[in-house]
């Protein structure tokens, strides 16, 4: 984001991953840049092993969704996981 304008960046590279732990290892090894959740990299930023490169261009917020079988009564495991996610990330419904 640049004010109200969305700026799209489409980097090209040889290494691609959809796992934050793999991406952290890659950037720590100097393979490039990555957008990573702040809680996962806070210690690396504090130590200086990683640096923030675009602090004035925040990423638009994204959602987290729980996909479960359709039922008015989810299993206890699904209910506990859903409650934990809401507790950790908040309940910011779209709309």
Q: Are residues 40 and 82 in the same domain?
A: no
Do both 55 and 23 map to the same domain? yes
Q: Give yes or no: residues 56 and 75 share one domain.
A: no
Q: Which residue has the tokens 């479960």?
A: 68
Q: Are 15 and 29 in contact (CB under 8 A)?
A: no
Domain identity same for 2 and 43: yes
Same domain, 11 and 41: yes
Are 54 and 65 within one domain?
no
Q: CA 90 to CA 35: how far, in whole Å?
A: 21
Quick one: 47 and 69 in the same domain? no
CA atoms of 32 and 65, how far apart (whole Å): 29
Whether residue 31 is found in the same domain as residue 65: no
CB atoms within 10 A of CB 74: 15
Which residue shows structure tokens 């984001």?
1
Are 49 and 67 in a shared domain?
Answer: no
Task: List the chain pLDDT tens, one digit each, 95 residues.
Answer: 677 887 787 877 788 888 889 999 999 999 988 888 888 899 999 999 999 988 877 777 777 888 888 888 989 998 999 899 888 777 655 44
Same domain for 42 and 52, yes or no, is yes
How many domains, in total, are found in the chain? 2
**Residue 13 structural domain:** 1-60
H or E element, residue 82: helix 76-89
pLDDT at 95: 41
């Amino acid at each position: 984001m640049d004010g109200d304008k969305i700026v799209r960046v489409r980097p090209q590279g040889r290494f691609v991953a959809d796992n934050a732990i793999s991406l952290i290892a890659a950037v720590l090894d100097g393979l490039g840049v990555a957008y990573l959740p702040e809680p996962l990299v806070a210690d690396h930023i504090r130590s200086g092993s990683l640096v923030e490169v675009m602090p004035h261009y925040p990423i638009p917020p994204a959602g987290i969704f729980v996909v479960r079988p359709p039922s008015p009564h989810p299993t206890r495991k699904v209910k506990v996981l859903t409650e934990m996610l809401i507790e950790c990330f908040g309940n910011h419904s779209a709309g």
